[in-house]
């Protein structure tokens, strides 16, 4: 069965997203990055409201957040709350706030 990828972090810079992706892939977690915001055919607006999403499979969300937090690559402002809001809020509280 094809697993859906879930956004766990949003970075303003493609390099930060690539570093996070590299850390996860080095840990054996399949992940992807994608650009969100201004369409690519509007170069004069490039960078405005643009973000790079790091996405992992649902089964790897908790492990991925832990890895990125432990490596200092996930700050509270990078944490992405998507349609899995309840799950993400639980992860945010447990791992980013230190309430374990």
Output 95 or 17, whichever has higher pLDDT: 17
What pLDDT sits at residue 95? 62
Mean pLDDT of the 23-34 span:
94
pLDDT tens digits for range 72-84? 888 777 776 554 4
Whether 97 contacts 74, CB under 8 Å: no
Mean pLDDT of the 47-53 span:
72
As to burial, measured by CB atoms within 10 angstroms (0-12 exposed, 13-18 middle, 19+ buried), residue 44 is: exposed
Claim: this prediction has a pTM higher than 0.85: no
Give the right CATH number for 5-39+48-96 from 3.90.1580.10, 3.30.70.1530, 3.40.718.10, 3.30.450.20: 3.30.70.1530
User: Which sequence spans correspond to the domains of the chain?
Assistant: 5-39+48-96
């Amino acid at each position: 069965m094809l697993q859906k990828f879930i956004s766990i972090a949003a970075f303003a810079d493609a390099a930060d997203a690539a570093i996070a992706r590299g850390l996860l892939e080095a840990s054996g977690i399949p992940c992807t990055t994608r650009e969100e915001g201004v369409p690519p055919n509007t170069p004069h607006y490039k960078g405005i409201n643009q973000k790079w999403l790091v996405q992992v499979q649902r089964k790897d969300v908790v492990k991925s957040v832990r890895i990125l937090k432990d490596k200092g690559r996930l700050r509270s402002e990078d944490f992405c709350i998507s349609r899995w809001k309840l799950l993400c809020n639980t992860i945010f509280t447990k791992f980013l706030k230190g309430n374990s």
